[in-house]
Amino acid sequence: GLELSHCVGTNSLGPTGPWRSGGPCKMKRVRTVFKPEQLERLEQEFLKQQYMVGTERVDLAATLHLTETQVKVWFQNRRIKWRKQSMEQKAAKLSQFGVIQPASADSTGSKDHEEDTVDVEL
């Protein structure tokens, strides 16, 4: 894993690793920017299977020149997006037939996969 110092002072060499200093004692994750080719391949794999684990994830990460954690987090975030889109589509279909959704229709209510709520990398 990454070791973070308590307080990163001003460093003319710049940040090291995926973290940068946002001021005294503040560390912020630098967001991963995926290349279009990487996103296309990740989406293709997601269409095949929504959960990428084990050697499949390791192999995909190596193929795309990403870390295993980046692939894992991308799949977690993509599942969240997919669930949200599914809920919105379901709500739209119900509204076409005059069925009124309850006020909490925007929350997924899914607690089955708590790890899917993670959107940061370590």
33, pLDDT greater than 70: yes
Cα separation, 122 vs 101, whole angstroms: 38
Q: Which amino acid is at 56?
A: E
Write down the pTM of the prediction: 0.60
Among 15-24, 36-45, 84-93, which is the least confidently predicted range? 15-24
1, pLDDT greater than 50: no
pLDDT, one tens digit per residue, over 45-71 is 999 999 998 999 999 999 999 999 999
Place of tokens 């379901």: 90
Cα 4 to chain centroid, rounded? 22
Instruction: Identify the CATH number of the domain defined by range 36-94.
Output: 1.10.10.60
Query: What's the token pair of residue 102?
Result: 């309850």
Domain spans of the chain, in order of start: 36-94
